[in-house]
Amino acid sequence: MGKKKSGVCALVCVLVLAGTSLLQAKVGENTKIYTVFANQGCSCPAGGTPEGLITNEEVLRKLQSQCSGIDFIARDTTKRDVTISTVLSELEGSKEGLDGVLILGALGNKEYKLAFTGLPTICVYSLFEWMNIPYKLYATGRENSIKVGGPEYKGGRIITAQLDRRQVCAPSLSKAMFDDLIGKIKLIQVTKKLKESRILVVVPYKYLGQVDYQGDAHKHFPENYNETYTRTLKESLGIELVRIKPEEFYQAVKEVDEEQAKVIAKMWIDEAQEMKDTTESEVTKTAKSYLAFEALRKKYNCNAVSTQMRSLTGRGKIEDMFWPGLGLMEFQKRGIQAICQEYENIMVAHLLGYYLAGRPSMLGDLMIDTFNNVSILTHCGAPLNPYGDDRRIPYIIWSHAQSPVRNTLKPGSGTGAQVNYPVNEPVTIWKVYVFHKKIGLHTGKTADGHSLYKDFDGIMCRTKLVVKVDDAKKIQKHFSPDEYGIHRAGTLGNLREKIKDLATLIGFEVVEEDK
Under DSSP, is residue 202 helix (H, G, I), strand (E, B) or coil?
A: strand
- Is 6's pLDDT higher than 60? no
pTM of the entire structure? Answer: 0.92
- Whether the per-residue pLDDT at 337 is higher than 90: the answer is yes
d(CA 250, CA 145) in angstroms, rounded, equals 64
* Per-residue DSSP letter, 111: -
Mean pLDDT of all residues in 420-430: 97
CATH code given to domain 22-195: 3.40.50
Asked if residue 170 has pLDDT above 90, the reply is yes
pLDDT tens sequence across 236-293: 999 999 999 999 999 999 999 999 999 999 999 999 999 999 999 999 999 999 999 9
What pLDDT was estimated at residue 2?
Answer: 37
Instruction: Compute, in degrees rounded to 10, the torsion defined by CA atoms 475, 476, 478, 484.
Output: 110
Predicted confidence band at 132 (pLDDT cuts at 50, 70, 90)? confident
d(CA 143, CA 107): 16
pLDDT of res. 145: 83
Q: Is the pLDDT of residue 1 over 70?
A: no
Residue ranges covered by each domain of the chain: 22-195, 198-512
Q: Residue 210: its pLDDT value, please? A: 87
Rg (Cα) of the chain, in Å, rounded? 26
pLDDT digits (tens, 9 = 90+) for 137-156: 999 888 888 888 878 888 89
Q: What percent of the chain has pLDDT over 70?
A: 93
What was the pLDDT predicted at 109?
A: 65
Task: Please tell me the distance from the alpha carbon of residue 250 to that of residue 313, in angstroms, as a whole number.
Answer: 5
Report the 10 Å Cβ neighbour count for 23. 12
At residue 17, does pLDDT exceed 70?
no
With CA atoms as reference, report the closest residue to 507 among 436, 429, 442: 436
What is the pLDDT averaged over residues 9-32? 47
| 3-state helix/strand/coil string of 393-443 | CCEEEECCCCCCCCCCCCCCCCCEEEECCCCCCEEEEEEEECCCCEEEEEE
Residue 8 pLDDT exceeds 50: no
